[in-house]
Structure 1
Amino acid sequence: MNDYVSFVKKMACEILEMLAEGLKIQPRNTFNKLVMNEESDSIFRLNHYPPCLDDQFKGGNLIGFGEHTDPQIISVLRSNNTFGLQILLKDGNWVSIPPDQTSFFINVGDSLQVMTNGMFKSVRHRVVANKSKSRLSMIYFGGQPLCKKIAPLPSLMKGGDSVYQEFTWFEYKKSAYRSRLAENRLGEFEKIAAS
């Protein structure tokens, strides 16, 4: 398990470096140094969704894990080749992500959305239960230390305007615990909301 977590952490950091390079951010380790910090609030979670009986599906989809965005910088997810993961499109429709046990699903987290001043968006997703097969997912959430400030990088503020006010990861987590899963947990930190 430790080897697996080390591998996905390294992969997450390489992806973050490529994002920084693509955005022409210097230094290239601007994002991944937060994840690599020894005080990083990164976590690994294993989720198990057992199959559900037909009579539990009377109203349509049975939700295994409700609609949400991931709060950290980046998430690396892998599952056991079982349907269940869905993302919300801009038009309000949910779309199933085809399972692939040989691939990883990468999510931009709320923290990266803020640091890129909204250039990258954290995707709303959920997990629906499967009627015939258990779903197992392994997720590495690359996070920053609790005391680190989260704010848009100056080089990414179009015209000098920041969409978000500065906050710490601890402040975000405290706010998130007071909210419901499907709520916009960044709303409290948007400049419009602060005005």
Structure 2
Amino acid sequence: MFLSSPSPLRTKKTQAIGIPVIDLSLDTAMLSHQIITACQDYGFFKLVNHRVPIQVISKMEEAVHGFFSKPMSEKVQVKANPPSPFGYGCRNIGFNGDVGELEYILLQANSLSTSSDVFNVVANQPTNFSRLIQDVDSDSCFRANHYPGVKPESNQPKPAHRIGFGEHSDPQIFTILRSNDVPGLQISTVDGLWIPVTTDPTDFCVFVGDVLEVLYHA
């Protein structure tokens, strides 16, 4: 369940309207125009027919679940140590003190330094996980988020009203998100309208990040 922050930066208005869907099986020239329009109007689009095999997606999800199900004593062996952000972490996130827990792993797609340590903790065959994300020519990162189950407390809201990520923007150039079948994701338009995003584990969601927005307006 995802809710806006207690003191939202935008007015909470929700409306189920169409969102951009980019079909990668279409003509390249048509795709370029559609992507530009989606980024300018929404800063977001869904990606379908991306040709990433469902077997690869399933193996990645299985490996991630395997890591997060490990005892905390094992996960902290690869915790992020500042100033490096890479590794395991656990915290809350959002502009306004959101209520909810988040644990994550952040890995470099082109480096064995941090990633190899995590692979050794993730599964019995860490090299299989390594091959799923590694690209020596990439400067991208891989991040997996996990929202632990909420235990009811007398002085806290009901679990159904707890949140994972609150209202936020992504700091990087762009984000490619693959979520499971748990609903709750919303995007906000420039006029403050929140649009629910239908979940589909076979699709990818692409978000324009703060860096790309700055570069575009520079």
Give TM-score scaled by structure 1 length. Answer: 0.36
Which structure: larger Rg?
Answer: 2
Give TM-score scaled by structure 2 length. Answer: 0.33
